[in-house]
């Protein structure tokens, strides 16, 4: 039983971070928004999406009032994520409050004793609740927002609890075609630990921007992430080379290859129409899930959106590996 729990703990700590990930509550960096997922998974400047404040609280405004989103992602293996987002305008003086609930289910596991005899089954899940608020500096185009997160992780009858926070600074002027934002996510503290070791939350500092072309119905989205740790590239053991004499050498990563792993981009065609198409590319995911002998298209994302009166439906397809794809579904409802 103990061995099974250790294995599950390792999976839950590293499955979202690919090569070199070291932190807890990594599900916080897994987007459940189909629109964001289709644009590369890191987009921070979707001003009209009720799901976006979960990643960038500075975009919270009265325009999101009384909007609801329900999301589902069919992730790797039997892992699934369900989330819901909602915003409410208290009044013009106080402003708008945003909330999000996320539940990640790892599925059922078989429990066994030290001799391998099955003793039953158990479940594991991660859960978070966030509350966010944004403030527009008077007579400026700058917005400052923040989220507070309450995080719970459970494996069988073991559990961990933590608190986190996000801070975002946004520049937005409705008369200009671009938006710029700086976001610091997942600052916090693991209050209750699984074992005796207290782990860090998956802190991430990102710079995002979007640009809407004037004469073409396309909006471009660009993100530089993990600015708190520029050297994120790790040599992949599967990419080791062997000489004719049998000597092996690890993968060498250049400065350019490391830098490009911070970058993701997306393009949204006909963003203001009833039907639009979206494409994205995550360079880090592509590099870390690359196979030397086969084209995998890892890092590529695509999706579409359909708007029907007060309903919006978004879908995203994310390519991870020849044996692993992911689909994300979002239903957005305007309750006004």
Q: What are the pLDDT digits (tens) for 41-61? A: 999 999 999 999 999 999 999
Tell me the backbone φ, ψ of residue 179, rounded to 5 degrees. -135, 140
Number of Cβ within 10 Å of residue 244's Cβ equals: 5
Contact 36, 305 (CB under 8 A): no
Number of Cβ within 10 Å of residue 293's Cβ equals: 4
Dist CA 140 CA 219 (whole Å): 24
The reported pLDDT for the residue numbered 243 is 65
Place of tokens 């001003």: 47
Dist CA 215 CA 85 (whole Å): 33
H-run or E-run covering 310: none
Q: What is the gyration radius of the CA atoms in the chain, in angstroms?
A: 21
> pTM of the entire structure?
0.86
The reported pLDDT for the residue numbered 66 is 96
The candidate with the shortest Cα–Cα distance to 150, out of 218, 99, 80, is 99
In the chain, the N- to C-terminal Cα span, in Å, equals: 51
Per-residue pLDDT reduced to its tens digit, 63-97: 999 999 999 999 877 889 999 999 999 998 889 99
Cα–Cα separations (whole angstroms), residue 28 to 12, 106, 209, 237, 249: 11, 14, 21, 27, 35
Chain mean pLDDT for the chain: 88
Per-residue pLDDT reduced to its tens digit, 137-160: 999 999 999 999 999 999 888 899
SS (H, E, C) 223-272: EECCCCCCCCCCCCHHHCEECCCCCEECCCCCHHHHHHCCEEEEEEECCC
Per-residue pLDDT reduced to its tens digit, 197-240: 889 999 999 999 999 998 899 999 999 999 999 888 877 666 66
Q: Which domains does the chain have, with CATH numbers?
A: 2-334 (2.40.160.40)
């Amino acid at each position: 039983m103990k061995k099974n729990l250790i294995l599950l703990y390792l999976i839950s700590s590293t499955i979202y971070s690919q090569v070199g990930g070291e932190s807890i509550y990594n599900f916080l960096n897994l987007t459940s928004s189909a629109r964001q997922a289709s644009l590369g998974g890191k987009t921070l400047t979707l001003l009209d999406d009720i799901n976006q404040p979960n990643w960038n609280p500075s975009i919270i405004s009265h325009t999101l009032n009384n909007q609801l989103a329900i999301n589902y992602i069919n992730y790797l293996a039997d892992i699934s994520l369900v989330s819901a987002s909602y915003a409410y305008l208290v009044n013009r003086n106080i402003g708008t409050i945003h909330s999000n609930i996320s539940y990640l289910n790892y599925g059922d596991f078989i429990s066994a004793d030290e001799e391998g005899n099955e003793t039953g089954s158990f479940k594991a899940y991660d859960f978070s609740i966030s509350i966010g608020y944004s403030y527009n500096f008077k007579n400026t185009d700058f917005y400052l927002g923040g989220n507070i997160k309450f995080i719970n992780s459970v494996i069988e009858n073991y559990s961990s609890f933590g608190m986190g926070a996000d801070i975002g600074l946004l520049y937005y002027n409705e008369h200009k075609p671009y938006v710029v934002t700086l976001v610091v996510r997942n600052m916090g503290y693991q209050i209750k630990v699984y074992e005796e070791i207290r782990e860090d939350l998956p802190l991430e500092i990102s710079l995002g921007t979007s640009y809407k072309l004037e004469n073409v119905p396309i909006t471009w989205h660009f993100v530089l992430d993990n600015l708190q740790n520029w050297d994120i590239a790790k040599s992949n053991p599967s990419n080791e080379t062997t000489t004719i004499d049998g000597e092996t050498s690890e993968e060498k990563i250049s400065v350019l290859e490391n830098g490009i792993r911070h970058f993701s981009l997306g393009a949204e065609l006909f963003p203001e129409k009833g039907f639009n198409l979206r494409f994205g590319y995550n360079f880090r995911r592509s590099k870390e899930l690359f196979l030397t002998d086969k084209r995998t298209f890892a890092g590529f994302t695509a999706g579409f959106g359909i708007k029907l009166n007060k309903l919006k439906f978004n879908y995203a397809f994310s390519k991870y590996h020849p044996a692993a794809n992911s689909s994300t579904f979002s239903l957005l409802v305007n309750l006004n």
